[in-house]
Structure 1
Amino acid sequence: MLLLYNSGVRLYFVAVYIASFFNRKARLWIAGRKNQALIRLEQSIWFHFASLGEFEQGRPVLEYFRTTFPRKKIVITFFSPSGYEIRKNTLLADHVYYLPLDTAANARKFIDAIQPELAVFTKYEYWYHFFNESHQRNIPLYIISGIFRPGQVFFKWYGALHRRMLGYVSHFFVQDETSKELLSAIHIANVTISGDTRFDRVWANAQHPKIIPVVKEFTAGHKVFIAGSTWPPDEELIATLATQYPGWKFVIAPHEIGEDKIQKLISLLPPGSSVRYSEIANTTDVSHLASRVSHLIIDNIGMLSSLYQYGDIAYIGGGFGVGIHNTLEAAAFGLPVIFGPEYSKFKEAKDLIALQAGFSISNEAELQNVTNNLINNQTFYKDAGRKIRRYVEEHTGATAIIVGHIKDGIPQEK
């Protein structure tokens, strides 16, 4: 099985290398790993995140260690360029790297260099050689905000190698009872139900959001529909609402902001009705412009979590692809959330639907029906807003559980 795993890792590298000739993300993935030089450390605390979403999810734990152990060296690794390129200069770490390809030699070299006292992986990402090397050196390895489903390879007859990986983990902090039961069924008992650290992150953000003056002025005095992390199928649906609610402002933050993607989005909207954030970021009279256009397109990354403070209804993209993006950022501000049909892997989406504070749609008619209900039935709208905000608040606390367990294993600073 290990031979198959190693072969699969190398085949993945070859596939990405070939893709790098015509795909920007693949080029960054290859170049970033090829060019990085590791700085040798005596000791460190190592956090690994698959991408930007996992970084934000694990951020409350990362912030705790940065604040509590200010002289400890913090090392962050990312698998994806979408995490590394945006957070490579974060002040929450001393060193930020791409995670090297998972081979035995790379794992030894990387861990030799950073000498971690402990490692924290968030939600996903299970790499055999990095886990095995940590285990062999008695480096505590923690999974936080973990979530498991019956369909995963760990629970299949052919998943022996992946089950062995789980055996190298010192402790699992999982989101729900189902995850704990699944791990118990394969004889893993070092598990705590802590909940999801994303709730702590989004709740803290909602209490003290970053003010965005341009958006504040653009939306002032209007009802606001915010569409976050959208993909083309989402944008085609949202564009149909443009003529239905002429008094509303629409703020759209696409998941991908390449020029071709932005121009495609603009072409879906009524001519002359939209403006890009970059075009008005330094404008002194945004209110005059806002009187003429109703769609603001956010053509940058990193602003979305603060945008929701200006909204009344949120649409979360990704539900017509591999799965919806972060609904909780909007929920923390009390915004009812709408999303596409691919949400089965997301517990919070199911919870929000059960509360009638989140709404899944599959087509234009369903989107318009949900939006009409929220706009025209104020009792229904306000009730959804109260329930969704309370849901987020009631699920905070995962960070305290996690750090309460991990911190005692860290040598105190002198």
Structure 2
Amino acid sequence: MVFLYNIGILLYGLIIRLVAPFNSKANRFVNGRKQIFRQIAARIDPSEKHIWFHFASLGEFEQGRPVLEKIKAEHPGKKIVVTFFSPSGYEIRKHYAGADGVFYLPLDTRRNAERFIQAINPEIAIFTKYEFWHHYFSVLAEHKTPLFIISGIFRPEQIFFKFYGTFNRNILKHVTWFFVQNQQSVDLLKQLKHHNASIAGDTRFDRVAENAEHPTLLPLISSFAAQHKVFIAGSTWPADEQLLQELATAITDWKFILAPHEIGAEHIRQIEQLFPTAIRYSALTTENAAAARILIIDNIGMLSFLYQYGQLAYIGGGFGVGIHNTLEAAAFGLPVIFGPNYRKFQEAHDLLKIGAAKSIEDEKSLVTAFQLFKNNQKAVSLAKEYVASQKGATASIYEKVKAYLN
């Protein structure tokens, strides 16, 4: 089975290289890994121990960031290495000041895993949520390096729990401790004879609560919002934007902010075709902000602070692979609306249950959800209270992890 896994990794790498000349994201994926071990050697002293945090992408980084910053605050002398699998995480956080080095993770071959772990000399390794790599986990185990999964979540349909999932189940044996989000995850791991798991919750609650308590102010957005109510659509995809175009046409007494998930030039032009009167954030000034009604955010990194200027939020992705981050909006007390694909997200189920969220399927149900929440102060309070009630995962994780720090 390892042979087939290795073939799969090599084929993945080959396909990415073939696609790279025609796809900007694949191009960054490939170019960012060129001379990767030379990059690491230029920044990292292998004679020193490091704490290694790995994240799939930007969302997982924000999820694990509270734990990273807690360890850094309590152990300021510790060296930290951060890796990303995806360009969308690396490109935005490659200059993150909380780490001594930020790198792409080399593809999971045995040779890469051995070289990488020798190069960074990890004291402990912390992976967030979903990342499970056979060779990296195996080599960490051989070095007797403690390995933690934080904000993990397991579901019966995952390959670990299928009759054909033996290879994947064996990867889990290398984990020192699983910090998971719910009781179902604990129970599923117990079925596999893993009793090294505890419910710590989701560290994103700590992160979004901190953002809401100490938000970065955005003066131009403040000028745009002025005295108007603002509907904020975050991490949108084309299917979301089609629906939002109809809502914005129908609801003329609100302002709209669209922050698309992809900000490539072609996608921005497509959004402008849907919203001909919209203005890009890059063209926004103190002079034209108040008169504008629809704003397109054409940069990355502002979304988590945009929500402080809104009254209601739409979270994109629900008509595709799955919804994006609902908690950033809920922390500011915004009820949230999203598409039908939210099954994998515990917080979405929770927000729906308490009446602070609504799932929609079409333009008609979007308008109905808007009408439900547009003046719903109870939903505002419920969203805020839900986020506040779920804080504490970071402290719980740190209390256990600190015992493994020299």
Q: Same fold (TM over 0.5)?
A: yes
> What corresponds to 2:385 in structure 1?
390
- Given that 2:332 and 2:384 are in contact with CA atoms closer than 8 Å, whether structure 1 keeps it comes out as yes
> What corresponds to 1:174 in structure 2?
180
Aligned amino acid, residue 26 of structure 1? A
SS at match of 1:111: helix
Structure 2 distance, partners of 1:33, 1:69, is 30
> What corresponds to 1:290 in structure 2?
290
1:116 to 104, 107, 122: 122
1:131 to 119, 126, 137: 137
> What corresponds to 1:401 in structure 2?
396
Aligned amino acid, residue 119 of structure 1? A
Q: 1:223-242, aligned counterparts within 5 Å? A: 223-242=229-248
Deviations 1:132-166 (A, max 9, x none): 00001100000000000111111111111111111
**Does 2:28 align with 1:24?**
no
Aligned amino acid, residue 315 of structure 1? Y
State which drifts further: 16-25 or 43-52. Answer: 16-25
Structure 1 distance, partners of 2:22, 2:157, is 33
Structure 2 distance, partners of 1:71, 1:88, is 21
Aligned amino acid, residue 28 of structure 2? L
- Given that 2:316 and 2:339 are in contact with CA atoms closer than 8 Å, whether structure 1 keeps it comes out as yes
Deviations 1:307-362 (A, max 9, x none): 00000000000001000000000000110000001101111111111111111001
1:279 to 244, 264, 283: 283
- Given that 2:226 and 2:290 are in contact with CA atoms closer than 8 Å, whether structure 1 keeps it comes out as no
* Cα shift at 1:10: 1.1
Structure 2 distance, partners of 1:84, 1:367, is 34
> What corresponds to 1:259 in structure 2?
265
**Does 2:354 align with 1:352?**
no
> What corresponds to 2:66 in structure 1?
60
Aligned amino acid, residue 409 of structure 1? Y
Q: TM-score, normalised by structure 2?
A: 0.97
Aligned amino acid, residue 280 of structure 2? R
> What corresponds to 2:11 in structure 1?
11
**Does 2:81 align with 1:81?**
no
SS at match of 1:240: helix
Aligned amino acid, residue 300 of structure 2? I
SS at match of 2:323: coil
**Does 2:162 align with 1:156?**
yes
> What corresponds to 1:321 in structure 2?
320
Aligned amino acid, residue 392 of structure 2? G
The count of corresponding residues between Structure 1 and Structure 2 is 400
| CA RMSD after TM alignment | 1.0
> What corresponds to 2:311 in structure 1?
312
* Cα shift at 1:15: 1.5
Q: Percent identity?
A: 55
Q: Which runs of 4+ in 1 moved over 2 A?
A: 283-286
* Cα shift at 1:35: 3.1
Structure 2 distance, partners of 1:165, 1:133, is 11
Query: Unmatched 5+ residue regions in structure 2?
Result: none
